[in-house]
Amino acid sequence: MSDSTMPLHVSGTGLVPQLVGEQAQARPEAAALVAGSTTLTYADLERRANQLAHYLQALGVGPEKLVALCIARSPEIVGAARAALKAGGA
């Protein structure tokens, strides 16, 4: 197994968004999400989440603002949830 396909092993404690961010910095080309024939790297996931987070902030999303996700079960829901948290939403 190459480093980019090794399973993620986490020690200690931390919030999932923080742990994903750390992996994105440490292993940007590693697979973060595999769903069917779709594979997103940590770099892809971060880029998508950052774009949507900036858009959400422009719409007024911030601390303690609720963000509803109405998306079919797909890889996009992971990025959308990450974006809502990065934007400061709940």
Give the pLDDT confidence of 48-85 residue by residue, as tens digits.
999 999 999 999 999 989 999 998 888 889 999 999 99
pTM: 0.77
pLDDT band at 18 (very low <50, low <70, confident <90, very high): confident
Q: What is the structure's pLDDT at 9? A: 54
The count of domains in the chain is 1
Question: Which residues contact residue 53 at a Cβ distance below 8 angstroms, ignoring those fewer than 6 apart?
Answer: 82, 83, 84, 86, 87
Determine the Cα–Cα distance for residues 66 and 64; give it in Å rounded to an integer: 6
pLDDT tops 90 at residue 6? no
State the residue range of the domain holding 79.
3-86
Tokens 């973060």 correspond to 32
Q: What is the structure's pLDDT at 90? A: 81
Cβ atoms of residues 23 and 32 within 8 Å: yes
Q: What is the CATH number of the domain that holds 8?
A: 3.40.50.980
